[in-house]
Structure 1
Amino acid sequence: MKRIFCLYTGGTIGCTDSPNGLTPQQGILIKPIDELAQLHIPSVKIEYSEYPVALDSSAMTPEHWRQIAQDIAERMDQFDGFIVLHGTDTMAWTGAALHWQLAHLAKPVILTGAQRPWVHNGSDGPANFQLALQAASSEQGGVQLAFGGLVLPAYCVKKLDADADTAYGAPNAPLAAPSNSHQPFTLHALNADRAILALKLYPGCETAIAAMINSQAWHGIVIESYGSGNLPQHPALITALAQQARGGTIIINCTQCIAGEVRQGLYAAGDIFNTLGAWPAGRRSVEAAGTWLYTHLGRQAPEVLRQQWQSVASL
């Protein structure tokens, strides 16, 4: 009999109605989850756990990502698979953060949630949980997201629809999943105190974004640039980025596009990133890049980190 650890962090799947709108609640999923598991996969034993406060995922922080990874790592030898019940707003961020922290993972860690509360008629929660339970009971190791009939690599996931049951996709996922190494499982706990800034360009943003960049010394900056990796040639913005780069800040250049690749320097408008020493993200998302920085900064010398990121970006 396989043992599955199920951790409820909050989110729509466990919400109930309140005067202020849907609110995550504790305790309401234990019975229906147990009943569903006994009906569909009776050979699986689930241990269910909840955090003291059920969070709307819009309130998730890097410290929560670190705690979730720690709680999974502490139980790695006791269970065959893991399910994390999570809100849909930031599930892609948490999935990427867990992917980087849970290194050489031979067991499945599956994130899932719902677009409508389990207690509502017509909820997608039961189907998503059943899919997650099947994935968590499999032999496929790694962090994945099970949602809307799809099981996707968590570090490539994007939320594409605010309403539909098929809310997630992985349009930039590699054709072949990275193979799990035979190295022993390792927890690389992220550093939630790292000063990481994620920015999305928009026409007319240059002065405001430059002020934000200049507001403090950052350990890492992730810029969602235009198209293939282009940046407006605005003196204040470029000066702000150059000053951070001279101070040792790592700058990663991601595309705003849902699919496609950063080809830094293909256009003259993108060559400034090369001058700044920015790292192109390839097909990796802002979620993947931001959480990678939280997990990796400070662990190796900058040049070693650059080589490691190039391996990630080339997938």
Structure 2
Amino acid sequence: MKKLMLFTTGGTIASLEGENGLTPKMEAEDLLRYLPELEQYCRIDTKSLMNFDSTNIQPEYWIQMAKAIYEHYNDYDGFVITHGTDTMAYTSAALSYMLQDLSKPVVITGSQIPIAFKKTDAKRNISDAIRFACEEIGGVYVVFDGRVIQGTRAIKLRTKSYDAFESINYPYVASINTDEIHYYNHVNKLKNKEPKLDTSLCTDVSLVKLFPGIKPEFFDSMKNLYKGIVIESYGSGGIPFHERNILEKLNELSDCGISIVITTQCLEEGEEMDIYEVGRKVNQDVIIRSKNMNTEAIVPKLMWVLGKTQDPQKVKELMETPIAKDITL
């Protein structure tokens, strides 16, 4: 039988009604009591790392999760992390960068309804996550509503429905039915590789969503606060330069040594800054292109890269290098 470690971090899946609404209160052992049948598939040890609503998850907690997996890596065949859904995609991407060359699965799951409720998606999601964590596969994955998503490609699209997560700009890895796992594409099965742990993070990163009328002066306040800025622009990734000249302000920030990533507010197909004048006017020798990365991956990747170097050209090179299948263009 495979031997797995179940880490819990809180989230809806572990929540109970409190004085001010749902709040995480259940520990790891409590969750497994609702699923005694899992004992026939594998041995499961448990450890509660934290107990937070994922709205309260911070980058420092990603480090704690990554270190916990690395410290227990040689003792288990796979790992499952239960997590709140609101920031799950950020966590799965962050772990994909901090833990590389994995030859074992790290599976993140959660639920839209607490496991203690009569009607819940938690039992299925945990069961599916446990099943997938027994596979001969390496990497970080999100398992939710019977679908397996690459850790750098998950986005939460729905606030209530069971199918809360989608895989954006990348195929689903697999689907999980009652008795089988169906893979949609070839999956590399890493063997005899030592995992790499790199938890260097610089959290001086901001995310700005452009909108018509945003004041250029807004960006002046960022010069002494951040070392990296992610700009969610429109469509193919152009930057306004007429009347309210945002392009000029981004050039000023770049001149100050701040690394700037341009992405698009459109969920699918990524940026393509070579098509329009508003894109071609951007200095692409300096500005970082996100290609078809998800924002939920761009933010932790930028923190991770800035934790290693703050040389703008080296940051650009690392950010534009595919890692954990985060870029496919």
Structure 2 vs 1, CA of residues 91 and 264 (structure 1 numbering), >3 Å: closer, same or farther? same
Counterpart position of 1:148: 145
Contact 2:99 2:197 in 1 (8 A): yes
Contact 1:26 1:50 in 2 (8 A): no
Counterpart position of 2:4: 4
Q: Specify every segment of 5 or more residues in structure 1 that has no aligned partner in the other structure, as ranges.
A: none
**C-alpha deviations, 1:293-315, integer Å up to 9, x for none?**
11122535544443333232345
**C-alpha deviations, 1:274-310, integer Å up to 9, x for none?**
3572111111011111111111225355444433332
1:77 maps to which of 67, 74, 85: 74
Counterpart position of 1:107: 104
The worse-fitting range, judged by mean Cα deviation, of 271-280 and 246-255 is 271-280
Counterpart position of 1:277: 286
Q: Specify every segment of 5 or more residues in structure 2 that has no aligned partner in the other structure, as ranges.
A: 173-184
| Residue correspondence of structure 1 range 43-58 to structure 2 within 5 A | 43-51=41-49, 53-58=50-55
1:127 aligned counterpart, secondary structure: helix
Separation (CA, whole Å) in 2 of partners of 1:181 and 1:3: 18
The worse-fitting range, judged by mean Cα deviation, of 270-279 and 171-180 is 171-180
Contact 2:302 2:319 in 1 (8 A): no
Structure 2 vs 1, CA of residues 111 and 270 (structure 1 numbering), >3 Å: closer, same or farther? same
Separation (CA, whole Å) in 1 of partners of 2:53 and 2:33: 23
Structure 2 vs 1, CA of residues 35 and 121 (structure 1 numbering), >3 Å: closer, same or farther? closer
Separation (CA, whole Å) in 1 of partners of 2:221 and 2:259: 16
The worse-fitting range, judged by mean Cα deviation, of 290-299 and 93-102 is 290-299
* Identity value in percent: 31
Aligned length: 310
Separation (CA, whole Å) in 1 of partners of 2:168 and 2:328: 15
| Residue correspondence of structure 1 range 173-192 to structure 2 within 5 A | 173=170, 179=188, 183-191=193-201
The worse-fitting range, judged by mean Cα deviation, of 71-80 and 305-314 is 305-314
- Displacement of 1:3: 1.3
2:302 maps to which of 273, 290, 293: 293
2:282 aligned counterpart, secondary structure: helix
Counterpart position of 2:205: 196
Structure 2 vs 1, CA of residues 41 and 257 (structure 1 numbering), >3 Å: closer, same or farther? farther
| Residue correspondence of structure 1 range 111-130 to structure 2 within 5 A | 111-130=108-127
Counterpart position of 1:265: 274
Structure 2 vs 1, CA of residues 302 and 185 (structure 1 numbering), >3 Å: closer, same or farther? farther
Q: For residue 295 of structure 2, what is the amino acid of its counterpart?
A: V
Separation (CA, whole Å) in 2 of partners of 1:72 and 1:203: 44
Counterpart position of 2:20: 20
Structure 2 vs 1, CA of residues 280 and 180 (structure 1 numbering), >3 Å: closer, same or farther? farther
Structure 2 vs 1, CA of residues 63 and 248 (structure 1 numbering), >3 Å: closer, same or farther? same
2:283 aligned counterpart, secondary structure: helix
Contact 2:286 2:313 in 1 (8 A): no
Contact 1:105 1:180 in 2 (8 A): no
Separation (CA, whole Å) in 2 of partners of 1:93 and 1:238: 28
Q: For residue 225 of structure 1, what is the amino acid of its counterpart?
A: S
Counterpart position of 1:307: 317
Q: For residue 118 of structure 2, what is the amino acid of its counterpart?
A: N
Separation (CA, whole Å) in 1 of partners of 2:214 and 2:186: 37
1:311 aligned counterpart, secondary structure: coil
Separation (CA, whole Å) in 2 of partners of 1:209 and 1:180: 47
- Displacement of 1:7: 0.9
TM-score, with structure 2 as normaliser: 0.87
Counterpart position of 2:258: 249
1:262 aligned counterpart, secondary structure: coil
Counterpart position of 1:221: 229
1:22 aligned counterpart, secondary structure: strand
- Displacement of 1:181: 6.1
**C-alpha deviations, 1:184-227, integer Å up to 9, x for none?**
21001132x4311111111222346424434x252211111101
- Displacement of 1:178: 7.6
**C-alpha deviations, 1:75-130, integer Å up to 9, x for none?**
11111111111000000000100000001111100000000000011110000000
| Residue correspondence of structure 1 range 23-34 to structure 2 within 5 A | 23-27=23-27, 29-34=28-33
Structure 2 vs 1, CA of residues 261 and 272 (structure 1 numbering), >3 Å: closer, same or farther? same
Separation (CA, whole Å) in 2 of partners of 1:140 and 1:35: 27
Please identify which structure carries the higher helix content.
Answer: 1
Contact 1:265 1:273 in 2 (8 A): no
Q: For residue 251 of structure 2, what is the amino acid of its counterpart?
A: A
Contact 1:210 1:240 in 2 (8 A): yes
Counterpart position of 1:66: 63
Q: For residue 286 of structure 1, what is the amino acid of its counterpart?
A: T
Contact 1:245 1:276 in 2 (8 A): no
